[in-house]
Chain A
Amino acid sequence: MQFGIFTVSDVTTDPTTGATPTENERIKAIVTIAKKAEEVGLDVFALGEHHNPPFFSSSPTTTLAYIAAQTTTLQLSTSTTLITTNDPVKIAEDYAMLQHLADGRVDLMMGRGNTGPVYPWFGKDIRDGIELAIENYALLHRLWTEEFVDWSGKYRTPLQGFQSTPRPLDGVAPFVWHGSIRSPEIAEQAAYYGDGFFANNIFWPKEHYMRLIGYYRQRFEHYGHGTAEQAIVGLGGQAFMAKKSQDAVSQFRPYFNEAPVYGHGPSLEDFTEQTPLTVGSPQQVIDRYAAMRDHYGDYQRQLFLMDHAGLPLKTVLEQLDFLGEEVVPVLRKEMAKNRPETVPDAPTHASRVAAAALRVEPVETEAVSS
């Protein structure tokens, strides 16, 4: 079971001080936050990709490579990589490059992006979002698993004998998660490839995600990758903590009330009741997230959103201390209790290299027969 943080990379005014960090301050803060994540014992840092203000993260591999150079164990991921508007050829190249530099500590989460105007900036149309996600990933998957690729599709120029470089580290592609809030097509896609499925879990009631994850697990088994309980599931989450729960509520409320996405809407009380956002003592966060497996089954990755809505860097680092020192060590023990042996851990480069070594190489079979 992996624990970590994910960020959407927003540059937001701190509603309690009126101060807005510069892009440079926020970019440097993200690096500090990622290093802190490793320092407090977290496993994963995932960075979003956006091409419009108020977000800064247009170039995730640059940032992640810089972080990779300053960390040793942290798994670097994305939340999400835009499989719709990016050229899959460039994704194949960029993330294979990152995979080499980070010694395999890389995976990705595919997402579509829900901002209509961004698509035409990259020559695409949001109405083709699902089709783009399906076709582009089909190509990306082939570029990483086949040496030379002939390709003809609807959304990019054809390829003849194209080889993306560098080849994935040790011949094994980075593991891929697919993130979706509501589309069964994406759950189906993740199940088809035996890839991971990530439910962001932070904006909607858990019942919604329980249905979607249940569907993915069922289809994962259908496509022959293992049993439903062996499907690779990741969840988002959100917490704000203080020693005393009332202090957490009073400190977080002004950020909640002004937050992008849900600000000026439901009350903090309603939102914490209806979604996995937990504002309170570390023990309350432990109790809430230890119960997630009861709803979704044993899963592989839990990421928390900790640095949004204008929270200053100092506060975020304090929150990471709570998370890494008080919450995650207990959650690791809780999640390990009664976890069936057959439920796999989240795939890593090492586990994927080992799995690939066990597979029969079809090329050799051909060579023998000819």
Chain B
Amino acid sequence: MTARRIAVVSAGLSQPSSTRLLAERIAAATQHRLQAEGIEVELDFVDIRDIAQDVTDNLLTGFASPRLEAVIDSVTGADGLIAVSPIFTTSYSGLFKSFVDILDPDSLTGMPVLIGATGGTERHSLALDYAMRPLFSYLHAVVVPTAVYAASSDWGSDDAGTLAGRIDRAAGELAALVRESDRSSQVRDPFALPAGFSPVGAFGAQ
């Protein structure tokens, strides 16, 4: 019980990507926090760009390619999730949402999540709280209070109290939840029948 796994999903489109860079910094800060408490942390990075075609195919056909299936399993079976998207036209990117759309709606229930976003200007920072947070709330994930937004200006700022401070605070919040998580060691039964299910129905047995 001293090892945890965190999935780090980033939806940046360019290479190199500031979205991926932010995801890495958040992941490293979270890992650092947990390691300080003697907890080993495995990080699984997912760049949605790499599976963009598979995501689209899944939307059209209803099934995931073997490669995408492996990614979905890695994300939904993690102890925690760091999700970072660029903000496009007032919200998370369409590709990011497409990936979330193909997840089973119950598969993130109880998942500790840290949300982050990147954008050209800090004017879009509230998109994290009015768009991304409700998305994960709907999925019954547990989103930590601090969301991390990085605008272009943050990357050039030498004011250590801003971006680095927000990352560190959010990482601490996520680490506290991941520490208590046993999601990655849970055994899931894909054939679990709903409670009270009867193969003849409520009335048919009479």
A interface with B by C-beta (< 8 Å): 131, 134-135, 138-139, 142, 150-154, 184-185, 187-189, 191-193, 203-205, 207-208, 211-212, 215, 261-266, 270-271, 274-275
The reply to whether B201 and A153 form a contact with Cβ atoms under 8 Å apart is yes
The reply to whether A134 and B66 form a contact with Cβ atoms under 8 Å apart is no
The reply to whether B61 and A262 form a contact with Cβ atoms under 8 Å apart is yes
The reply to whether B191 and A135 form a contact with Cβ atoms under 8 Å apart is no
Cβ-neighbour of A138 out of B62, B193, B204 (below 8 A): B204
> B36 within 8 Å of A by Cβ?
no
Cβ-neighbour of B199 out of A134, A151, A203, A262 (below 8 A): A134
Which residue, B60, B191, B205, has most C-beta atoms of chain A within 10 A? B191
The reply to whether A152 and B197 form a contact with Cβ atoms under 8 Å apart is no
- Chain B minimum-CB-distance residue to A136: B201
The reply to whether A134 and B62 form a contact with Cβ atoms under 8 Å apart is no
> B195 within 8 Å of A by Cβ?
no
B92 CB, min distance to chain A CBs, angstroms: 23
Residues of B within 8 A of A193 (CB): 199
- Chain B minimum-CB-distance residue to A150: B206
> B1 within 8 Å of A by Cβ?
no
Cβ-neighbour of B197 out of A150, A188, A274, A275 (below 8 A): A188
> B198 within 8 Å of A by Cβ?
yes
> B98 within 8 Å of A by Cβ?
no
The reply to whether A154 and B60 form a contact with Cβ atoms under 8 Å apart is no
Given A192-B199, A204-B62, do A135 and B192 touch, yes or no (CB 8 Å)? Answer: no
Which residue, A134, A142, A153, A191, has most C-beta atoms of chain B within 10 A? A134
The reply to whether B203 and A215 form a contact with Cβ atoms under 8 Å apart is no
A185 CB, min distance to chain B CBs, angstroms: 6
Residues of B within 8 A of A154 (CB): 201-203
- Chain A minimum-CB-distance residue to B59: A265
- Chain B minimum-CB-distance residue to A264: B60
The reply to whether B203 and A270 form a contact with Cβ atoms under 8 Å apart is no
A312 CB, min distance to chain B CBs, angstroms: 25
The reply to whether A192 and B201 form a contact with Cβ atoms under 8 Å apart is no
Residues of A within 8 A of B193 (CB): 184-185, 188
The reply to whether B204 and A134 form a contact with Cβ atoms under 8 Å apart is yes
Mark out the residues of chain B between 42 and 80 whose CB falls within 8 Å of any chain A CB in the assembled complex: 56-57, 60-63, 65-66, 69
**Complex CA distance for A276 and B57, rounded to whole angstroms:** 17
Given A139-B204, A215-B191, do A185 and B61 touch, yes or no (CB 8 Å)? Answer: no
**Complex CA distance for A146 and B194, rounded to whole angstroms:** 29
- Chain A minimum-CB-distance residue to B200: A138
**Complex CA distance for A204 and B191, rounded to whole angstroms:** 17
Cβ-neighbour of B198 out of A134, A153, A191 (below 8 A): A134
Residues of A within 8 A of B200 (CB): 134, 138, 192
Cβ-neighbour of B201 out of A138, A187, A191, A205 (below 8 A): A138
Residues of B within 8 A of A203 (CB): 61-63
The reply to whether B66 and A205 form a contact with Cβ atoms under 8 Å apart is yes
**Complex CA distance for A231 and B42, rounded to whole angstroms:** 43
The reply to whether B57 and A208 form a contact with Cβ atoms under 8 Å apart is no
Residues of A within 8 A of B62 (CB): 203-204
**Complex CA distance for A135 and B204, rounded to whole angstroms:** 6
Which residue, B62, B69, B205, has most C-beta atoms of chain A within 10 A? B62
Residues of B within 8 A of A215 (CB): 191
Residues of B within 8 A of A188 (CB): 193, 197, 199
**Complex CA distance for A262 and B62, rounded to whole angstroms:** 9
> B156 within 8 Å of A by Cβ?
no
Question: Which 9 pairs from chain A and chain B are nearest by CB?
Answer: A138-B204, A265-B60, A192-B199, A135-B201, A184-B191, A134-B201, A204-B63, A266-B57, A153-B203
B153 CB, min distance to chain A CBs, angstroms: 40
- Chain B minimum-CB-distance residue to A212: B191
Given A188-B193, A266-B57, do A274 and B199 touch, yes or no (CB 8 Å)? Answer: no
The reply to whether B63 and A184 form a contact with Cβ atoms under 8 Å apart is no
The reply to whether A135 and B203 form a contact with Cβ atoms under 8 Å apart is yes
